[in-house]
Amino acid sequence: MSGFLEELLGEKLVTGGGEEVDVHSLGARGISLLGLYFGCSLSAPCAQLSGSLAAFYGRLRGDAAAGPGAGAGPGPGAGAAAEPEPRRRLEIVFVSSDQDQRQWQDFVRDMPWLALPYKEKHRKLKLWNKYRISNIPSLIFLDATTGKVVCRNGLLVIRDDPEGLEFPWGPKPFREVIAGPLLRNNGQSLESSSLEGSHVGVYFSAHWCPPCRSLTRVLVESYRKIKEAGQKFEIIFVSADRSEDSFKQYFSEMPWLAVPYTDEARRSRLNRLYGIQGIPTLIVLDPQGEVITRQGRVEVLNDEDCREFPWHPKPVLELSDSNAVQLNEGPCLVLFVDSEDDGESEAAKQLIQPIAEKIIAKYKAKEEEAPLLFFVAGEASSWDGHAQRNSHRVFYAPGSKPSITGTLPFAPHLSDWEWRHSVSQMRKERLGESQTALRSAPRSGRPAGLCILADSPAGLHLPHVSRS
């Protein structure tokens, strides 16, 4: 256990009082579940969470008081302590994005759990990157022995299971979580067993969310086309509406099923199961309830005729307006091809596809998401057309330092990326090596990225870029 924890967290953590704690001591204490709390002292929601999390932490560990440092360190004689009760085998580590050390110190002072030292900025960024944290506060739970993610939405755990009765909150099969009646908008009720043998789309959405309403209109047509093609497919609406009246109004536009609005517990369990952090989100499942893709939203928008349903993930995607949202979700490798010839884009895709497949297969074997997303973008792609119409351009200059001017409409943060260095005549075998450097590249705010500039697939010019 200690090997994994030290690799993840380093050798030392600190208590709220500033005392150092050896990471290997967590193994000696029998810690089985590790919570990573991502936050910042300047965030009011983080301050609010810290109070409720401290109470939760104290109850779960059985501490008499969840005051500063309570239970955080191993304490005298900890190595000889009796075997902890299962519910006490939890530790939380705060992973901060603070840029001011005094603010960080003031914030962690009242925390009864541990924290990564302030100076460990690079390690913090690697953790934010590894677990694709896109908003704060976020709390995820890991198996302390294997490192596997147990629960991506720990905030719902605190709300739904304040006494920790369901510890350690491991994922349950979809059929178990969805079990119960489902509704149609005409009031008809069906049992969840009716989903057997069907692909299922689990649709997290709400009427108050404009992007949700836009996607729903497209999804209604996709649903109709898939059903007319004879495919066994059903969608389940999991509402995030703020009132039952809003739910009913929105659901009246949908031809599929929904979890009853009054069944808040089941809606929350589905959010926990898939670690939902934002809407709209469409998770597509196979008939066995296993996830095919978490990017159903992108797939529906990219494949209006639904010819590629059920949308098994592709190793390499062509960058477009609809899928560029994925640039915000983690490190991306984008191969820019300076050509209007579709054949050049396809050749470029074939160049990096074996590398992408190898990386994806490696992490799939460990039941983990791949650390990189792969894209190809060319002059003829739709996003570049938008850029030209808005007088924003990406300038290509093979063999020299490229520049990005203005703001690309689909990814405004790209205008802030900094070209750090250029490597001429990048060979195919070097591409595989570069992804290692990318995963550990420091960044703040947006994910780091690796943009490859190519005048032809045979000779690549590789600028390594990161957010400054």
How far is C-alpha 437 from the geometric centre of its chain's CA atoms?
20
Closest CA to 333 of 467, 135, 465: 465
> Rounded distance, CA 42 to CA 39, Å?
9
- Quote the CATH superfamily of domain 174-302: Glutaredoxin (3.40.30.10)
Residues of the chain with pLDDT under 70: 1-2, 63-88, 328-330, 338-342, 378-468
Whether the model clears a pTM of 0.95, i.e. scores above it, the answer is no
User: What is the pLDDT, as a whole number, of residue 407?
Assistant: 31
User: What is the pLDDT, as a whole number, of residue 332?
Assistant: 77
Asked whether the beta carbons of 234 and 283 are under 8 A apart, the reply is: no
> Rounded distance, CA 125 to CA 112, Å?
23
> Rounded distance, CA 337 to CA 398, Å?
10
377 φ/ψ angles, rounded to the nearest 5 degrees: -135, 135
Residue 118, C-beta contacts closer than 8 angstroms, at least 6 positions apart = 96, 98, 101, 104, 105
CA distances from 29 to 10, 26, 71, 75 (A): 17, 5, 11, 10
User: What is the pLDDT, as a whole number, of residue 88?
Assistant: 62
How far is C-alpha 26 from the geometric centre of its chain's CA atoms?
27
Placement of tokens 């060979």 in the chain: 427
Q: Is 294 left (phi over 0), alpha (psi -120 to 50) or beta?
A: alpha
> Rounded distance, CA 1 to CA 15, Å?
21
- Quote the CATH superfamily of domain 2-160: Glutaredoxin (3.40.30.10)
Sign of the Cα torsion 235, 236, 240, 243 reads positive
What does the CA dihedral 43, 49, 50, 56 come to, rounded to 10 degrees?
A: -170
User: What is the pLDDT, as a whole number, of residue 134?
Assistant: 78
User: What is the pLDDT, as a whole number, of residue 324?
Assistant: 78
How far is C-alpha 226 from the geometric centre of its chain's CA atoms?
28
> Rounded distance, CA 41 to CA 18, Å?
16
Instruction: Name the DSSP letter for residue 275.
Output: T
Sign of the Cα torsion 339, 340, 342, 345 reads positive
User: What is the pLDDT, as a whole number, of residue 259?
Assistant: 98
User: What is the pLDDT, as a whole number, of residue 338?
Assistant: 61
Alpha-helical regions (H) of 121-172: 121-130, 154-160
Asked whether the beta carbons of 234 and 256 are under 8 A apart, the reply is: yes
Q: In this predicted model, what pLDDT tens digit does every residue of 201-230 receive, in sequence order?
A: 999 999 999 999 999 999 999 999 999 999
Closest CA to 344 of 262, 458, 429, 245: 458
Sign of the Cα torsion 325, 326, 330, 334 reads negative
Return the structure tokens found at 55.
């109470």
Closest CA to 439 of 132, 117, 146, 148: 132
CA distances from 343 to 347, 394, 426 (A): 6, 20, 20
Q: In this predicted model, what pLDDT tens digit does every residue of 325-368 receive, in sequence order?
A: 777 666 777 877 765 666 777 887 888 888 889 888 988 887 77
User: What is the pLDDT, as a whole number, of residue 124?
Assistant: 92
User: What is the pLDDT, as a whole number, of residue 227?
Assistant: 97
